[in-house]
A and B are shown apart, each in its own frame.
Chain A
Amino acid sequence: MKNMSSVIWYLYEFARKSFVEGFTDAKSKHDIVEKPDRFRDFPEVIKEYCIGCGACTKSCPSPQAIKLVRDGDDSEEDGITYPVVNERSCIRCGFCAEVCPTDPKTLLCGENHLIKEEFNIIPSKRQYLVDDFLCIKCKKCIKSCPVEGAIIEKDNKIMVDQVKCISCGNCLDACPVKGAMKGVFIDNLEDQKAVIHLVVNTLEEFIESKEKELQSLPDEKLLKLQLPLSEIWDKALKIIPDEEVALEIIENATDRLKIRIIAWDDSKCKKCRLCVDECPTGAITYNPDTNDVKRDSNKCLRCSNCYQTCPFCFVKYFIAKFLLDEFDGEKVILITLNESQLANN
């Protein structure tokens, strides 16, 4: 009896007109080609708002996806600088739109989630934050925290409740991942910036003073340099007198720092001037009187466009990485330089 009813049901189902139509003429509806509203498409560029800061190129995870270009100058005004998105490389992540500092934004890509600073009521020189990118969710910080509810897990993210935090620093010691739990200094941001500037500028000058060694560096070889910390230390202490704070800021800055170095040998340059038009900030200039191509290092963004343009491969492009370490009882900054493996031309 049971079988009978199901057979009748199937017969009834197969005999229906809509089933027969669908069976003989199956077609997807048009809505499969429509993109839903929430879909984040390739970023849209509004040229006029761009200030040429280069934040979009730095934030982009794909090396060839976004480039700053500059229109040619005419007699009245300089050409405008703006980003160009290469759709063959873009992964539609929207980071460029997220970091774009102009208001209104030069780059539009889906929704933007602005990061807001949190407020702490307890007077402390540090504010404790979890870096969600590095955090492994081991919850050791929650166990070590003396205040219940100061470190919480929400939406599979570990977060510090700034209102409940007493800034004891236990979580910093308990965290097994370097940099996942951060105790950032909050009260002297401008001074911190000045120290970071000092470190970066000193390192850059130091590397540029070694330009001859860089020029003669064979392919695929590293150049290792050392700069004693004592050269920066006194100046840094004048800006921030607290030794603990100053050392940590210098350490953090050198750990993450990557300096791009552009160098070329003037005697080898063929003066073809291809790089002059390619430079997004107009840092490379040609002087017809002296037949000289010069780079203004203060204007230069280190975007590597000139390196990629140079048809003779005379422009060299290096990447420097740093580590603060102890050497013979003295703190030194170790520097490693290697030639970029980004293809030129």
Chain B
Amino acid sequence: MLNTFKDIVRKSSIHVCLVNCGGCNGCDIEIVALLSPRYDLEQYGIYVHNNPREADVILITGAVTEQWIKKIKRIYSKAPEPKVVACVGNCPLSGDVFNQEGGNVHAPVSDFICVDAEISGCPPRPSEILEAILTVAPGAIASRGREANGKNKKNQVTGGK
């Protein structure tokens, strides 16, 4: 009963944290376009807070520069479970045009943290980003929430954590 209630809440209210780890800002502009009345992200219950501590979804853009390697892991660890990571654009997937001869980027971002959704494009259309968040996030967050609950109970019994 409690779990079903939690599932409904988790599915209908998704908090997003946007992290640009060294990109050109193009994908970030597409995400800002999602907040505009035309796409209106908030009608789906998605809120952009830019605070990893209250994030359900971490959106990652950019090709992971050297300074971001530690920080991206730290941001990931700050986000509470259940969490979903989505890569927006080609930069976090392959480094894209920044991954040149002599470049100093550390793409893909999946070398450092677990990635659940990949949205390719340079930049992807706002509707593609929205589609990816809506198809992956609610289900994944709800099912992971249930798994995490089970683990916590076991830990309490054995006195772990």
The residues of A with any CB-CB pair to B shorter than 8 Å are 26-28, 32-33, 35, 39, 61-65, 86-92, 319, 340-342
> B131 in the interface, Cβ–Cβ < 8 Å?
yes
Stretch at the interface among B52-60, B95-103, B142-150: B95-103
- Cα A86 to Cα B96 with chains together (Å): 10
- Cα A225 to Cα B7 with chains together (Å): 68
Using a CB-CB cutoff of 8 Å, which residues 1-54 of chain B contact chain A? 38-40, 43
Contact call A33/B102, Cβ cutoff below 8 A: no
Contact call A89/B102, Cβ cutoff below 8 A: no
Contact call A340/B99, Cβ cutoff below 8 A: no
Cβ-defined partner of A341 (8 Å) among B95, B102, B121, B126: B102
Contact call B94/A32, Cβ cutoff below 8 A: no
- Cα A55 to Cα B52 with chains together (Å): 45
Secondary structure class of chain B's binding surface, majority of residues: loop
The 7 lowest CB-CB distance pairs between A and B, nearest first, are A91-B122, A88-B93, A33-B127, A89-B94, A87-B120, A62-B97, A88-B94
With A28-B39, A32-B38, A32-B39 in contact, is A64–B94 under 8 Å at CB?
yes
Q: Chain B contacts of A33 at CB under 8 A?
A: 127, 131
> B81 in the interface, Cβ–Cβ < 8 Å?
no
- Cα A341 to Cα B95 with chains together (Å): 14
Secondary structure class of chain A's binding surface, majority of residues: loop
Q: From residue B131, how far is it (CB to closest CB) to chain A in Å? A: 7
Q: Chain A contacts of B102 at CB under 8 A?
A: 341
Q: From residue A221, how far is it (CB to closest CB) to chain B in Å? A: 15
With A33-B131, A88-B118, A341-B102 in contact, is A28–B38 under 8 Å at CB?
yes
Q: Chain A contacts of B131 at CB under 8 A?
A: 33
- Cα A336 to Cα B38 with chains together (Å): 53
A-B contact pairs, 14 of them (CB 8 A): A26-B43, A28-B40, A32-B127, A33-B127, A62-B96, A64-B94, A64-B95, A86-B94, A87-B120, A88-B90, A91-B90, A91-B96, A92-B122, A341-B102
The residues of B with any CB-CB pair to A shorter than 8 Å are 38-40, 43, 90, 93-97, 99-103, 118, 120-122, 125-127, 131
Contact call B96/A319, Cβ cutoff below 8 A: no
Q: Chain B contacts of A65 at CB under 8 A?
A: 96
With A87-B120, A89-B93, A90-B90 in contact, is A63–B99 under 8 Å at CB?
yes
Considering residues B103, B121, B122, B126, which has the most beta carbons from chain A within 10 angstroms of its beta carbon? B122
Q: From residue B33, how far is it (CB to closest CB) to chain A in Å? A: 10
With A32-B127, A33-B127 in contact, is A91–B97 under 8 Å at CB?
yes
Chain B residue with Cβ nearest A89 = B94
Q: Chain A contacts of B38 at CB under 8 A?
A: 28, 32
Q: From residue A270, how far is it (CB to closest CB) to chain B in Å? A: 27
Contact call A90/B101, Cβ cutoff below 8 A: no
Q: Chain B contacts of A319 at CB under 8 A?
A: 101
Contact call A27/B120, Cβ cutoff below 8 A: no
Chain A residue with Cβ nearest B87 = A88
Q: From residue B106, how far is it (CB to closest CB) to chain A in Å? A: 11
- Cα A340 to Cα B99 with chains together (Å): 13
Q: From residue A327, how far is it (CB to closest CB) to chain B in Å? A: 26
Contact call A90/B100, Cβ cutoff below 8 A: no
Q: Chain B contacts of A89 at CB under 8 A?
A: 90, 93-96, 99
Considering residues B43, B94, B102, which has the most beta carbons from chain A within 10 angstroms of its beta carbon? B94
Q: From residue B142, how far is it (CB to closest CB) to chain A in Å? A: 23
- Cα A90 to Cα B101 with chains together (Å): 17
Contact call A92/B101, Cβ cutoff below 8 A: no
Contact call B39/A63, Cβ cutoff below 8 A: no
With A32-B127, A88-B94, A341-B102 in contact, is A27–B39 under 8 Å at CB?
no
Q: Chain B contacts of A341 at CB under 8 A?
A: 101-103
- Cα A77 to Cα B155 with chains together (Å): 64
Contact call B100/A63, Cβ cutoff below 8 A: yes
Q: From residue B97, how far is it (CB to closest CB) to chain A in Å? A: 5
Q: Chain A contacts of B99 at CB under 8 A?
A: 62-64, 89
Q: Chain B contacts of A61 at CB under 8 A?
A: 97
